Amino acid sequence: MRLSVNVDHVATIRQARMASEPDPVWAAVEAELAGACGITIHLRGDRRHIQDRDLRLMKETVAGVLNLEMSTSDEMLDIARDVHPQMCTLVPEGDGELTTQGGLDIISEEESVRKAVATLKESGITVSIFIDPDVVQVGRAKAVGADIVELHTGIYAETGDPVRIERELEKVRVAAIAAQEMGMRAHGGHGLTYLNIAPIAAIEEIDELSIGHSVVSRAVLVGMGEATAEMISLIETA
Ligand code: PXP
């Protein structure tokens, strides 16, 4: 199972000051050097974290697979066709949401999803659709031509109830098996942390995980001591 590191929240820190650091392009290099199979970024309509410049630079610098998460809007389809990342993951995008809320409902959005998949595939881009772990949605993903389904692990990750955790885990497992049987690849992501990763990582039918918030959070903390010591050293030297 491979890990694609989502570096959106490195950009969130940068945008908090509208500064030039920390640069998600640099973070992406570090993640790949540490073994990530690729990098995921979500270019949102409101540009709250990743910017167009980040996407264009990462298209040049990411050595593994660059996965662009995006809505099905015409603006995003034009950008994807122009920049041409190896892979795009279609996600729902709502105004004012803190993060992606649930999977894309391919049943109610079928026309726009079908059009987006066709447009991206015509350009030679591998297409994944972020869906809830539901066999009916897996079937619709196949019907609209997706290569991959990314199964939403957020409910599994966020519920504190042990019985519900088992039930959600089973839904993810069943959906991953269904995807494989239908000839698609299964990925997973959302809300995964150092504490809840193991049962999901043990599902053999999932071949890639996309993790962002927890990795960036850990990176800030494990680097805090070194960053402080470097600054003290500069102050003392002066
Ligand atoms: N997969 C998708 C489709 C997402 O939208 C996100 C959040 O940007 C992730 C994975 C990563 O989620 P997290 O930041 O909780 O690890």
| Structural domain boundaries, residue 108 | 2-237
User: Is 42 a catalytic site residue?
Assistant: yes
pLDDT at position 4, please? 98
pLDDT at position 215, please? 98
User: Structural domain tally of the chain?
Assistant: 1
Ligand 1 centroid–CA 68 distance in Å is: 12
Question: How far is the C-alpha of 22 from the C-alpha of 26, rounded, in Å?
Answer: 8
Distant-in-sequence, close-in-space partners of 115: CB < 8 Å, separation ≥ 6: 72
Determine how many CB atoms are found less than 10 A away from the CB of residue 170.
Answer: 12
Closest among 159, 172, 179 to 203, alpha carbons compared: 172
User: Is 84 a catalytic site residue?
Assistant: no
Closest among 201, 213, 214, 128 to 169, alpha carbons compared: 201
Does 193 contact ligand 1 (Cβ within 6 A)?
A: no
Radius of gyration of the chain (CA): 18
pLDDT along the chain (238 residues), means of 10: 97 97 98 98 97 98 98 98 98 83 93 98 98 98 98 96 96 98 98 98 98 98 97 98
User: Is 69 a catalytic site residue?
Assistant: yes
Does 91 contact ligand 1 (Cβ within 6 A)?
A: yes
Does 71 contact ligand 1 (Cβ within 6 A)?
A: no
Sort 103 into a burial class: Cβ within 10 Å, 0-12 / 13-18 / 19+: buried
Ligand 1 centroid–CA 232 distance in Å is: 35
Ligand 1 centroid–CA 45 distance in Å is: 16
Ligand 1 centroid–CA 188 distance in Å is: 9
- The model carries a pTM of 0.96
Does 188 contact ligand 1 (Cβ within 6 A)?
A: no
The domain that holds 110 is classified in CATH as 3.20.20.70
Does 191 contact ligand 1 (Cβ within 6 A)?
A: yes
pLDDT at position 136, please? 98
pLDDT at position 98, please? 77
Length of the chain: 238
